Structure 1
Amino acid sequence: MDLPITPLLPAIRDRLAAHPRLVLEAPPGAGKTTAVPPALLEAPWLAGRRIVMLEPRRVAARSAAGFMAARMGEEVGGTVGYRIRFEHRVSARTRIEVVTEGILTRMIQDDPELPGVGALLFDEFHERHLSADLGLALALDVQASLREDLRIVVMSATLDGERLAAFLDAPRLSSQGRSHPVQVEHFPARRDEALEAQVRRAVEHALARHPGDVLVFLPGRREIARAALALEGAAVDAEVLELHGELPVERQAQVLRPAADGRRRVVLATNVAESSVTLPGVRVVIDSGLAREPRYDPGSGFPRLDVVPIAQASADQRAGRAGRVAEGWAYRLWPASQRLEPQRRPEIAQVELAGLVLELAAWGDAALRFVDPPPPGALAAARDLLRRLGALDDQHRITSTGRRMLALGTHPRLAAMLLAARDGDERALACDLAALVEARDPLRGRDDGWRARWAALAAFRAGRTDADAHRATLAAIDTAARQWRRRLGARDAPPREAPAHALGDLLAHAFPDRIGRVHPRDPQRYLLANGRTARLADDSALRGEPWIVASELRHEARDALVLRAAPVDEARLRRDFGERFIERDEVRWDEARRALVAERVRRFDGIVLDARPAGSVDPALAAQALTDAVAALGLDALPWTQGLRQWQARVQSLRAWMPDLGLPDVSDAALLATREAWLRPPFEGATRLDALSAEALGEALRSQLDWPLRQQLDALAPVRIVVPSGMERRIDYALAADGTPEPPVLAVKLQELFGLADTPRIADGRVPLTLHLLSPAGRPLQVTRDLRGFWDRTYPEVRKEMKGRYPKHPWPEDPWSATATHRAKPRGT
């Protein structure tokens, strides 16, 4: 069977023979996923080795492997196999291996030389999953340092191929798709209409007006279920099918095959049907314009799937699904006036990066080449969490615990909890918790306790289901827990009962930053280990518990609201986290008393358990406390003078005008960020903020410039300048609100500039001064940066007006030849 990409296959083989990297652009339906890997099997450069293809979705991985195997007349697991989380079908004969999620990352980490692998293919790279970005970065490093013969192919349906080819220094090939015209319309919503109701109307319209099957794109399983229920009560003469990643394999296969009886079908699908799989017979697409995509959730500490508008590139791909076999129609369920983002944002820019940072630490090189580099702030937050979990040391190196966590292939928080279990019962309970945390809430948010959710799971296993519990979700959780027990080698059956603190004692290892102690004066509020506070809901059963661990929070203006938590046993905390219970002398700034306070403090991490007055203030602690006080109070708490603010403006201005000098950043933000280096030394021996004099502050500030830079500052951005009258006059420097320099100002009496033709300049002649020309009384007459033009055009009018008002001062007709002076005319002249 010829596919649109078939004519391009010889060129793909030839390019890879001459170059180790290739960017392949092909629209959905071109056949790249299933035609390219088999076409490369006999390439001489492959030399009989395996091809590993990263496929972002499990449904697509199974489908691609099954399709390729069927075309070869084989079963999956022969020449073609796949590996996905908790499941694999490969054998010693497998030459094409389709893998998902972090499988490729694990393969490279376990053996960077990739023995027996000749080519890595990254399919659907335009989806920009974090695992694909990391896998590509690792593969490029392997190719550069260990395996020059390794071929890397990046395949995409919609991507800036030119940019990617430049990044990879790779040739770029493009294939045409197989498509027919598609008529696109926006299907209007009715006032306050739910999405499933609009879907039902659109499906009824499509079936009545157009031939063929209907493909409906919805964000996720929940919306698919609602739409299916709405279609049950509609006059729909078609088979309604669902397609999403949580379907059993046999039901996925049913959707991907044509209907045996020729009956029309309505397929309700997530974006798995956007580019990863091909559905036969589709002539109409109904697009909600929505998708569930990962976003970092600071409340849970995990990436969460949020419903977000799709990108324009995705909308175009979805519409194109209607034109595979003949002319098609696409109905969009959003207003025509709504504008979409052109391309999908990469996950690396918007998710939590603890897993990525742990992988980089295990690799031993954080400087890998990423198509889009990870944000520095997210990297720093991830390192901080991993240190708390014991996965990294203080130098950001991976620990033995971190390597064990990485091998589990889940989020580092859950990996830390799974490894913390002490015996068989705890391991089984930890597996239950890992499955519960990763899954949808089986109780639909009924209360804030984990115990009720685990009890619902235990009841389900015993054949009982709470009326408020979601049975299908509990079944999926039970399956996931069983897979975790098999992965950990936990032979014990899950316990039927659990002690009151058992869940919290395990969850504390996943969320050590959210262990909380009840506030001494409010049983509803908790002080958290990360230094923040949280409150329970008014009806929470956890109210007054001495210790809790909050696994999920909703951040609000004052305190965070606890959405999910469990009680923790203090004795277990002391046993498992003994190093975080400390007693030490501390010195802090008391804002109310405007003074330092020395205390003997007992604390657990960021939670103060007890504090009592200490003796004398330790000088080193005092200097640190005063420095921290400035961070809290702001730089205005220091004894700034006008001269020091002028010095700051001069440095910042010259830094902008002449960046080649290498002057340091002395903006308020930069000074606060570097306060430890320049501010703490002058505080040594002090116990009060006002002990720092303006002179000492000035010397501390100026110490950031070495002697040559100080000389250049004075020469290029001088404080004063000599004017033609022979007097020195001050130059005023200022910064705008955004920190950019304002034009420097020289305020001077007009008579002091007689004979000067051009505007004075500073910064090696790059910056003209703004002249505020003053009357003899010091009042402004003119503001200009063009002195020559002033003498030629404006001065005659000024002279005419001012000569009578200030007769004792010179107003010559010819200012060019007059003598500059700061004095009045001598008497009698």
Structure 2
Amino acid sequence: MSAAFRLPPFPDLPVVAALPELLAALETNARAVLEAPPGAGKTTVVPLALLAADWRAPAQKILVLEPRQLAARAAAARLAQLLGEPVGRTVGYRVRLDSKVSKDTRIEVITEGILTRMLQDDPALEEVACVVFDEFHERSLNADLGLALALDAQAVLRPELRIVLMSATLEAQRLGQWLPAPVVSSAGFLFPIETQYLDPRRAAALPNKPSERLAELVPAQVREALAAHAGDVLVFLPGVADLQRVGRKLSDSLPPTTDLHLLHGELPLDAQDAALRPAPAGRRKVILATSIAETSLTIEGVRVVIDGGFARVPRFVPRTGFTTLETVPVARASADQRRGRAGRLAPGTCYRLWTEAEQHQLPAHRPPEIHTADLSGLVLELALWGAADPTSLRWLDVPPAAAVAQARELLLRLGALKNEEAGRRNEGVAAGNNFSFLLPTSSLKLTPTPHGRQLAKLGLPPRLGHLVVRGTELGHGPAAAALAALLAERDLLRWATPNDPRPLPPDLRLRLEALASGRAPLPGLALHHATLQRVRDVARHLQSRQGSSKDNALTQSLAAAPVGLLTALAYPDRLAQREAPDRLRLVTGQRVSLKTEDVDPQATFFAVAYLAGTAAAPRATLAAPLDREELETAFVEQILTTDEVRYDPTTQRVAGRRVRRLGALLLSETTIGQPNAALVAQALLGYLQEAGLSKLNWTAGAHQLRQRLEFLHQLVGGEPWPSFGDDALLADLPTWLGPHLAGLKSLDQVQRLDLVEPLLARLPGGWAQRQELDRLAPAALEVPSGSHVTLDYADPTTPVLAVKLQELFGLTETPTVAAGRVPLLLHLLSPGGRPAQVTRDLRSFWEKGYFEVRKDLKGRYPRHPWPDKPMEHIPTKLTKKRLGTS
């Protein structure tokens, strides 16, 4: 043990027994995994034990990462208490907008994102002896990123840096094999916990919607638990709205000696602390909490846990770029963590508000956040680290390629990254069906720009960082900081009447008005005052980071702020144009619902900040009107002027227009009198591809040629004979028909084209292949009578020769095509031209079938020859009289 630090007496916790093995492992290994179940005391004891290790220099720190601010502050308080010191001396903490550290601090409890900033500022972490990832099983995005960077720093710069992963689940073995690192297991300790499930009959009568289900179940379960058990009650609910809804139902029905507390990450610190403190003597507590209370916290006095069984998780959709919050069933590992809260300090009870059968259907673990999150911040940090390719680092789960590509495109668009190799941009798309101004990012060498470095230091998502920096450069610093703070936190508005089912007004300007005045902007609305204060704190912090602390002119600066323009800076891919009173078209081409009268009934353009609903049916929940001039000035480099020519089926001619577009947004258009000939041809092709091949002039010769070519394609199974089916011809229409449309201006002119030459030109072998076509699939066949009979290739598997049977007299073998490989199907016709027999075996017909046919037809066609020996008779298409026989 280091002589620089004396360990205090440890509390009687199970993890103490595992400390010698853990410390011994770290003497010979730079990495270790500690598996310690809930209640083992790992957060309380391990950092202090590491502080006394011989490999730590006296001035070096132990960093302890916690997934949440509340857990970080609580862990620091508990560690400092064991030392008999105030927080900020030997043990301190740093979280967003709050810190308590000093020059004497040697254990620093931080939230996971802060480690990334520390590594970017000092990649070697010279002042750090060990980084402890507590509750690593939660697999937050920041924890995965921090670990990847720390492992890289350890491998390249600081091989002596210790890294400890602490996990409460059996994933520890997987972690140990992956690192690799020794795995130390600790026993856990929980008092006995009685677990009760929901009665199936009760469950069957409940609403399916989680919010309605919980609003009906939880209040009654809380009252029942208070009556049946001693101690405090901890209730797990998915989101803040659920906490408030249940809280309203409970506020007037709890015993007078019971206090109600809400616990979530957006509460002021004093409200969070009040929920964590033991209840005064003679009183009890009911704590309604989100998943913030799952791990790293021991709430003294809790003897009963009521688990609603749901969690709110973000879901990022790379195809749309939208992140939405979904309420999903809790994972079994999380449910076990929640249950453990009831048995930390005494025997307890856990009520699970789902059936025992449903328990077995829950997923074992929640997916790691890296699989479901927007990765723009991660990709920017990797670029700053010098690892533009995520696969160059070590990941327990590699970031998904689609989300990485989406993040790169956004960062390029924001100017946070640049392409070192070329800096190329593509020309966009005139049709507006896509909104990709950038080349595929997988092939580019991307490096951070000075602007990107600014964004990373703000500690905001890149979109909001871009809003702050660019907004400040445009002279709207206070408004940009305020808007970014608003968008970073939950909505500060609510309906004054509880349980009002209406969606809140989507106008972002109302939020800025409320932020400036501190009052509800419209009758019927009210404020979340805690959120209001937090937004103001974040806004002031952002202003100070930008070098300004002016706060006295907030009302005036927000009133004059171009809210739509500032919003567009953060969400350039969500610029929108009104299509209908209740619908917008985004710059990406996607349509979203929004009653524009709820924002500005006169506006044409909007900037959308938040979307809800589904990817198939999104709706804008926060938006602001955007002036056309502001739009065109801010995005001038992305506006394209193109000539568009379309075929008008009504007039049956092409019409041209010159359009200015920003992605899918149409800014202006004018008519073109004489469109470019190439564009006219493209318009005609576009119409034909939509209307189909039936609009072309399919003469008998062109029709048969296409069938002959398809026959050879199916015969050989492909090259050198390409398919001439509908799908193939439509897909290849520009190649084989396009050159023949030059100079044409109407569909009528197109329909005069003979398609024989365009079809033949599609053959890859030129003149030689045309000759081969005539040899293998001739258009007509000369029969013994001397006639040239057209072949029918309508069925590409069975070419047909339809000929009067008298013209085949003397022929004993069935005619073939494809150099003898395919016998023709003979339709032997009567003198009247009707089928008398169908056969592929001509010899057999003459020997057998012919005499039956002759018996039927000779009386009907007496003028035509019906010889007794057809294989020896002269073939003819003439009557007996003209043939000179009787």
Q: Same fold (TM over 0.5)?
A: yes
Structure showing greater Rg? 2
Answer whether contact 2:736 2:758 (CA < 8 A) is retained: no
Q: Pairwise mapping of residues 671-820 of structure 1 onto structure 2 (< 5 A)?
A: none
Q: Pairwise mapping of residues 496-507 of structure 1 onto structure 2 (< 5 A)?
A: 496-497=555-556, 498=558, 502-507=562-567
Amino acid of the structure 2 residue aligned with 1:495? L
Answer whether contact 1:299 1:552 (CA < 8 A) is retained: no
Corresponding residue number in structure 1 for 2:456: 406
Q: Label 1:565 to 1:245 Cα distance change in 2 as closer, same or farther (>3 A).
A: closer
Q: Label 1:590 to 1:123 Cα distance change in 2 as closer, same or farther (>3 A).
A: farther
Q: Label 1:67 to 1:553 Cα distance change in 2 as closer, same or farther (>3 A).
A: closer
Q: Label 1:452 to 1:266 Cα distance change in 2 as closer, same or farther (>3 A).
A: closer
SS at match of 2:303: strand
Corresponding residue number in structure 1 for 2:514: 456
Corresponding residue number in structure 1 for 2:568: 508
Corresponding residue number in structure 2 for 1:14: 24
Q: Label 1:636 to 1:296 Cα distance change in 2 as closer, same or farther (>3 A).
A: farther
Corresponding residue number in structure 2 for 1:227: 246
TM-score between both structures, scaled by the size of structure 1: 0.73
Corresponding position: 1:610 with 2:669 = yes
Q: Label 1:601 to 1:197 Cα distance change in 2 as closer, same or farther (>3 A).
A: closer
Q: What CA deviation, in whole Å up to 9, does each residue of 1:783-817 have, x standing for no partner? A: xxxxxxxxxxxxxxxxxxxxxx9x99xxxxxxxxx
Structure 1 residue 56: Cα displacement: 0.4
User: Quick one: distance in 1 between partners of 2:296 and 2:555?
Assistant: 42
Structure 1 residue 25: Cα displacement: 1.0
SS at match of 2:38: coil
Corresponding position: 1:288 with 2:308 = yes
Amino acid of the structure 2 residue aligned with 1:153? V
Q: Label 1:617 to 1:357 Cα distance change in 2 as closer, same or farther (>3 A).
A: farther
Q: What CA deviation, in whole Å up to 9, does each residue of 1:58-100 have, x standing for no partner? A: 0000000111111112121111111111111112221111111
User: Quick one: distance in 2 between partners of 1:145 and 1:696?
Assistant: 62
Corresponding residue number in structure 2 for 1:179: 190
Amino acid of the structure 2 residue aligned with 1:470? L
Corresponding residue number in structure 1 for 2:175: 164
Q: Label 1:350 to 1:152 Cα distance change in 2 as closer, same or farther (>3 A).
A: same
Structure 1 residue 624: Cα displacement: 10
SS at match of 2:273: helix
Amino acid of the structure 2 residue aligned with 1:50? K
Q: What CA deviation, in whole Å up to 9, does each residue of 1:744-769 have, x standing for no partner? A: x9xxxxxxxxxxxxxxxxxxxxxxxx
Q: Which of 29, 38, 44 is the equivalent residue of 1:34?
A: 44
User: Quick one: distance in 2 between partners of 1:119 and 1:635?
Assistant: 71
Corresponding residue number in structure 2 for 1:46: 56
Corresponding residue number in structure 2 for 1:375: 400
Q: Which of 586, 589, 596 is the equivalent residue of 1:531?
A: 589
Identity of aligned pairs, percent?
42
SS at match of 1:337: helix
Corresponding residue number in structure 1 for 2:860: none
User: Quick one: distance in 1 between partners of 2:91 and 2:550?
Assistant: 36
Corresponding position: 1:470 with 2:527 = yes
Corresponding residue number in structure 2 for 1:770: none
Q: Which moved more, 1:527-536 or 1:200-209?
A: 527-536
User: Quick one: distance in 2 between partners of 1:55 and 1:573?
Assistant: 42
Q: Which of 298, 309, 317 is the equivalent residue of 1:278?
A: 298
Amino acid of the structure 1 residue aligned with 2:23? R
Amino acid of the structure 1 residue aligned with 2:415? G
User: Quick one: distance in 1 between partners of 2:695 and 2:112?
Assistant: 52
Q: What CA deviation, in whole Å up to 9, does each residue of 1:566-595 have, x standing for no partner? A: 122333333322212332456789999999
Corresponding position: 1:125 with 2:136 = yes
Answer whether contact 1:501 1:566 (CA < 8 A) is retained: no
Structure 1 residue 437: Cα displacement: 1.6
Structure 1 residue 625: Cα displacement: 9.5
Q: Pairwise mapping of residues 127-526 of structure 1 onto structure 2 (< 5 A)?
A: 127-188=138-199, 189=202, 191-192=206-207, 194-236=213-255, 237-261=257-281, 263-296=283-316, 303-338=323-358, 339-365=361-387, 366=389, 367=391, 368-394=393-419, 395=444, 396-422=446-472, 426-444=476-494, 445-460=503-518, 467-472=524-529, 473-493=531-551, 494-497=553-556, 498=558, 502-519=562-579, 522=580, 525-526=583-584
Q: Which moved more, 1:339-348 or 1:265-274?
A: 265-274
SS at match of 2:356: coil
Q: What CA deviation, in whole Å up to 9, does each residue of 1:541-581 have, x standing for no partner? A: 42231322122335679885433221223333333222123
Corresponding residue number in structure 2 for 1:98: 109
Amino acid of the structure 1 residue aligned with 2:385? W
Q: Label 1:602 to 1:344 Cα distance change in 2 as closer, same or farther (>3 A).
A: same
Answer whether contact 1:683 1:692 (CA < 8 A) is retained: no
Q: Which moved more, 1:248-257 or 1:340-349?
A: 248-257
User: Quick one: distance in 2 between partners of 1:234 and 1:408?
Assistant: 45
Gap regions ≥5 residues in structure 1: 652-665, 701-744, 746-776, 779-804, 809-826
Q: Which moved more, 1:598-607 or 1:400-409?
A: 598-607
User: Quick one: distance in 2 between partners of 1:625 and 1:372?
Assistant: 48
Corresponding residue number in structure 2 for 1:736: none
Corresponding residue number in structure 1 for 2:883: none
Answer whether contact 1:623 1:680 (CA < 8 A) is retained: no
Amino acid of the structure 1 residue aligned with 2:456? L
Structure 1 residue 108: Cα displacement: 1.1
Structure 1 residue 225: Cα displacement: 2.8
Structure 1 residue 345: Cα displacement: 0.9
Q: CA RMSD in A?
A: 4.4
Structure 1 residue 295: Cα displacement: 2.2
User: Quick one: distance in 1 between partners of 2:46 and 2:651?
Assistant: 74
Answer whether contact 2:564 2:607 (CA < 8 A) is retained: yes
Q: What CA deviation, in whole Å up to 9, does each residue of 1:471-510 have, x standing for no partner? A: 4243333333233323333233243244577111211101
User: Quick one: distance in 2 between partners of 1:116 and 1:648?
Assistant: 70
Corresponding residue number in structure 1 for 2:93: 82
Corresponding position: 1:545 with 2:603 = yes
SS at match of 1:216: strand
Amino acid of the structure 2 residue aligned with 1:391? A
User: Quick one: distance in 1 between partners of 2:316 and 2:385?
Assistant: 24
TM-score between both structures, scaled by the size of structure 2: 0.69
Number of positions where the alignment pairs a residue of Structure 1 with one of Structure 2: 690
Structure 1 residue 633: Cα displacement: 10
SS at match of 1:12: helix
Structure 1 residue 428: Cα displacement: 0.8
Amino acid of the structure 2 residue aligned with 1:104? L
Corresponding position: 1:70 with 2:81 = yes
User: Quick one: distance in 2 between partners of 1:33 and 1:649?
Assistant: 67
User: Quick one: distance in 2 between partners of 1:298 and 1:168?
Assistant: 30
Structure 1 residue 613: Cα displacement: 3.6
User: Quick one: distance in 2 between partners of 1:155 and 1:525?
Assistant: 50
Gap regions ≥5 residues in structure 2: 1-10, 420-443, 495-502, 697-705, 743-749, 766-796, 798-824, 827-844, 849-870, 872-886
Q: What CA deviation, in whole Å up to 9, does each residue of 1:367-403 have, x standing for no partner? A: 2222112222222222222222222234333222222
Structure 1 residue 341: Cα displacement: 0.6
User: Quick one: distance in 2 between partners of 1:633 and 1:511?
Assistant: 37
User: Quick one: distance in 1 between partners of 2:167 and 2:649?
Assistant: 58
User: Quick one: distance in 1 between partners of 2:77 and 2:685?
Assistant: 65
Q: What CA deviation, in whole Å up to 9, does each residue of 1:172-228 have, x standing for no partner? A: 111111113222111445645752442222222223223333222122333223333
SS at match of 2:145: helix
Structure 1 residue 8: Cα displacement: 0.8
Structure 1 residue 111: Cα displacement: 2.0
Amino acid of the structure 2 residue aligned with 1:441? D
Amino acid of the structure 2 residue aligned with 1:151? R
Q: Label 1:599 to 1:227 Cα distance change in 2 as closer, same or farther (>3 A).
A: closer
Q: Which moved more, 1:691-700 or 1:436-445?
A: 691-700
Answer whether contact 2:588 2:663 (CA < 8 A) is retained: yes
Answer whether contact 2:458 2:542 (CA < 8 A) is retained: no
Corresponding residue number in structure 1 for 2:855: none
SS at match of 2:526: coil
SS at match of 2:226: helix
Answer whether contact 2:472 2:478 (CA < 8 A) is retained: no
SS at match of 1:140: helix
